[in-house]
């Protein structure tokens, strides 16, 4: 159907589209660790296949069929991550690279059965929503901890930074999905925050607070 490279481009365009209206060549080059000229070549190919709307110099958006493919790849990625953590006991910081390969296994029947086998999970190990077999999913209303006021509490439901370093840090602090926290104080000087957890109090930096997402 589509090559591995094409799938990775579509997925990247999808992710970048969540923040900006139209995605630029340089944004893609940065995310895909490639050069702008390589991106241009691929954009022409994807436009030819009508998977993206491409206006030279003006950036790209996904067409309906391009988006469908992108969401399906993300569904596969997140279901495999769930499988690796829930069934094979990997930690949440270990699964992304493996899922990058597994998301390209082509069979949809396989992924639908995997979904069923795991009981149709709604969120992956990082709190990201898993699209169902129709491509539908709902994001819950998330806020970075850095955006809430003193004495607000919430449940950790996601992260903005998926790096191994960040995930390992959170794990160590027990700041994992599902945990309840209350912001008890904010240090004016550097905006670090004091969090009250079930069994302890910890302090986190502004950077961490920015990348830790909660529901109120």
Partner DNA sequence: TAATAAATTTAGATAAGTCTAAATTTATTA
Partner DNA sequence: TAATAAATTTAGACTTATCTAAATTTATTA
Please report, as ranges, the residues that interact with Mn ion according to CB under 5 A. 81, 96, 124, 126, 128
CA distance 197 to 182: 7
Subset of residues 185 to 214 that bind a copy of itself, contact rule: CB under 8 A? none
Minimum distance from CB of 190 to a copy of itself (Å)? 39
Identify the helix (H) or strand (E) that includes residue 83. helix 64-86
Q: What is the DSSP letter of 103?
A: T
Report the residue number, 43 or 213, with the smaller CB distance to DNA: 43
For residue 5, the partner it binds in a copy of itself, DNA, Mn ion, none, with Cβ less than 5 to 8 A by kind, is DNA
What are the DSSP E strand ranges found in the chain? 52-55, 59-62, 143-144, 153-159, 180-186, 193-196, 201-204, 212-215
Stretch that binds a copy of itself, among 20-28, 29-37, 71-79, 83-91 (CB under 8 A): 83-91
CA dihedral 140, 216, 17, 21 (to 10 degrees): 120
Report the residue number, 7 or 115, with the smaller CB distance to DNA: 7
Report the residue number, 5 or 55, with the smaller CB distance to a copy of itself: 5
Report the residue number, 94 or 128, with the smaller CB distance to Mn ion: 128
Report the residue number, 49 or 206, with the smaller CB distance to DNA: 49
Stretch that binds a copy of itself, among 8-16, 19-27, 95-103, 157-165 (CB under 8 A): 95-103
Give residue 191's region: left, alpha or beta (phi > 0; psi -120 to 50).
left
CA nearest 78: which of 22, 4, 158? 158
The residue ranges that bind a copy of itself (CB under 8 A) are 84, 87-90, 97-98, 101-102, 104-107, 110, 113-114, 117
């Amino acid at each position: 159907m589509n090559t591995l490279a094409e799938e990775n481009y579509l997925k990247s365009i999808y992710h970048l589209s969540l923040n900006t209206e139209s995605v630029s060549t340089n944004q893609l080059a940065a995310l895909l660790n490639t050069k702008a000229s390589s991106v241009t070549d691929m954009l022409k190919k994807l436009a030819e296949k009508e998977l993206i709307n491409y206006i030279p110099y003006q950036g790209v958006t996904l067409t309906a069929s391009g988006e469908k493919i992108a969401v399906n790849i993300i569904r596969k990625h997140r279901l495999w991550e769930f499988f690796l953590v829930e069934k094979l006991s990997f930690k949440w910081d270990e699964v992304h690279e493996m899922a990058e390969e597994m998301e390209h296994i082509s069979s949809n029947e396989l992924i639908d059965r995997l979904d069923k086998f795991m009981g149709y999970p709604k969120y992956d190990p990082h709190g990201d929503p898993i699209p169902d077999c129709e491509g539908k999913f709902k994001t819950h209303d998330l806020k970075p901890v850095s955006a809430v006021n003193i004495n607000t509490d919430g449940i950790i439901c996601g992260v903005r930074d998926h790096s191994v370093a960040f995930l390992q840090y959170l794990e160590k602090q027990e700041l994992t999905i599902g945990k309840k926290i209350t912001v008890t104080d904010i240090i004016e000087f550097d905006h670090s925050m004091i969090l009250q957890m079930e069994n302890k109090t910890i302090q986190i930096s502004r950077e961490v607070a920015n990348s830790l997402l909660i529901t109120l």
